[in-house]
Amino acid sequence: MSGYVRTLAERARAASLILAALDGAERAALIAAMAGQLDARSASILAANAEDVSRGEAAGLGAAMLDRLRLDPQRLAAIADALREVAAQADPLDGVTRSETRPNGLVIERKRVPLGLIAMIYESRPNVTADAAALCLKAGNAVLLRGGSEARASNAAIAAALHAALRERGLPEAAVSLIDDTAREHVLELLQLSDLIDLAIPRGGESLIRFVAEHARVPVVKHYKGVCHLYVDRAADPALALDLLVDGKASRPGVCNALETLLVHRDIADAFLPQALAALAARGVEVRGCERVRAYAPDLAVADDADYAAEYLDLIIAARVVDDLDQALVHIAQYGSDHTEVIATADPAAAEAFVRRTRSSAVMVNASSRFNDGGQLGLGAEIGISTTRLHAYGPMGVESLTIERFVVRGAGQVRHPESQHR
């Protein structure tokens, strides 16, 4: 270990104490100032990004990766606007969450405080550098950022803008600390710093997240994959179910809240499957089906265990006819990823059984899986979607970057009467 990351983290930790003492208006003004600096420095940020992109092209990065990496004036303006939206959100630290007066007169308040120092470990998207910093700062945290090597120049240029805003407001640059050296050993060092880092959030592909989970001595909130199911109940409106299917699979197949498996109650298969298969085919979606699905379209490939477990992130869907709700629930328990499950049904009892017996972070009754998103669920911007069943579950907004603690206000109360002198 070089000690380079520890030194950065110690400075960021010291800065976190200063941030925690700011009030909500000061934190909002800081984030707005950061947006202003991104605008003011757009030329240098775009130049740095062009450097990353041409290096990526020379290295043979794929088109999707290059697209995630590339900034243009519109994209950069959108990043600055997203920061202004975070600045305008309600202060997550404001006020008292709960308050109770005990029989002995003690007033027990619960108040949200920042987590402290948050480490973000992410891949190619340079917007994460600004977004994650803004969300962490909004909740009074310092942040330690480690982006991907392919976005190194872009990240450094964005961080320089954020640092300018910190200086402008008389605050330590270390509040947003960038690990500007993408050697993997630095990630390993970071993950050991359990005395300094309160939470690590990996964002990226499954292999990055597994690497972090494998090596972390610091708490981690993970988002693995989204193997999201649509269950079409026998009491479903077939037209409504079709909308949910097409929206969930075809509107944006590469995202984690896209559908990956369709489960159809056998009693509605005749009324639903022929039009569903036609609609999917019309949108270029490949269906891999069980034997009962293939009865409607014998040319389809056979779905196997690997298909039911797959997060395709592509125009492919696994499809299975089930005997009843119970069989659908057993399928989801076996193959699901705790991300998002959808039921289409007009039967309230089936809906309640589905809600109660799935354990995923979001369950949708007659609504598209694509709504599992911080903005769509009313959280504002999100820093990730947790499939860890601890601290936060589902989309994580700024509130997920805080923790409730206890403030007790008394008039000299003691637990043991013998301690009383007055």
What minimum distance in Å lies between the beta carbon of 23 and its own copies?
Answer: 9
Q: Using CB under 8 A, pick the residue from 39, 55, 219, 271 that binds its own copies.
A: 219
Of residues 176 through 215, those in contact with its own copies by CB under 8 A are 194, 198-199, 213-214
Q: Does 281 bind its own copies (CB under 8 A)?
A: no
Per DSSP bridges, beta strands 340-344 and 384-390 are unpaired
Count of residues that interact with its own copies, criterion CB under 8 A: 78
Q: Is 394 in the site for its own copies (CB under 8 A)?
A: yes
Residue 49 vs 368, nearer CB to its own copies: 368
Token output for 178: 């960038």
Give the chain's largest Cα–Cα span. Answer: 88
* Angstrom distances, CA of residue 291 to CA of 51, 298, 300, 301: 52, 9, 10, 10
Closest CA to 401 of 89, 73, 45: 89
When binding is defined by CB under 8 A, the residue of 139, 244, 273, 381 that contacts its own copies is 244
Q: Which listed residue (201, 393, 396, 397) binds its own copies by CB under 8 A? A: 393
Q: Does 100 bind its own copies (CB under 8 A)?
A: yes
Report the sign of the C-alpha dihedral through residues 27, 33, 39, 40, in that order: negative
* Footprint (CB under 8 A) of its own copies, residues 365-384: 365-368, 370-372, 376-378
Can you give the length of the chain in residues? Answer: 422
Query: Under 8 Å CB-to-CB from 65, ≥6 apart: which residues?
Result: 56, 124, 150
From residue 241, alpha-carbon distances to 4, 260, 322, 342, 369 in Å are 54, 15, 16, 10, 12
Sign of the CA dihedral with 293 first, then 297, 302, and 308 last:
negative
> Residue 55, interface with its own copies (CB under 8 A)?
no
Task: Give buried/exposed letters for 194-222 (b at 16+ CB in 10 A, else e).
Answer: eebbbbbbbbbeeebbebbeeebebebbb
Tokens coding 416: 């043991």
- Given a contact cutoff of 8 angstroms between Cβ atoms, the answer to whether 159 and 178 are in contact is yes
* Choices 37-45, 56-64, 109-117, 169-177 (CB under 8 A): range interacting with its own copies: 109-117
Among candidate residues 111, 117, 119, 120, the one with its CA nearest the CA of residue 92: 111
Instruction: Report the distance separating Cα 174 and Cα 249, nearest Å.
Output: 42
Closest approach of its own copies to the CB of residue 279, in Å: 7
Residue of 123, 150, 247, 307 that binds its own copies (CB under 8 A): 247
Nearer residue to its own copies within complex by CB, 32 or 392: 392
* Sites for its own copies among residues 299-358 (CB under 8 A): 333, 351, 355-357
Q: Compare residues 153 and 401 and give the one whose CB is closer to its own copies.
A: 401
Cβ partners under 8 Å of residue 215, min gap 6: 187, 188, 191
Closer to its own copies by CB, 140 or 148: give it.
140
230: β partners: 262, 342
- Could you say whether residue 116 binds its own copies (CB under 8 A)? yes
Among 79, 130, 362, 396, binds its own copies (CB under 8 A): 362
Task: Single out the residue of 25, 184, 284, 420 in contact with its own copies (rule: CB under 8 A).
Answer: 420
Q: Does 403 bind its own copies (CB under 8 A)?
A: yes
Give the nearer residue to its own copies in terms of CB position, either 298 or 412: 412
Q: How far is the CB of 26 from its own copies (least distance, A)?
A: 13
Spell out, one character per residue from 141 to 170, where the chain touches its own copies: x when CB under 8 A holds, - when not.
------------------------------
Segment contacting its own copies by CB under 8 A, of 124-132, 227-235, 312-320, 410-418? 410-418
Stretch that binds its own copies, among 4-12, 39-47, 225-233, 363-371 (CB under 8 A): 363-371
Instruction: Kindly tell me which of 164 and 363 has the beta carbon lying closer to its own copies.
Output: 363
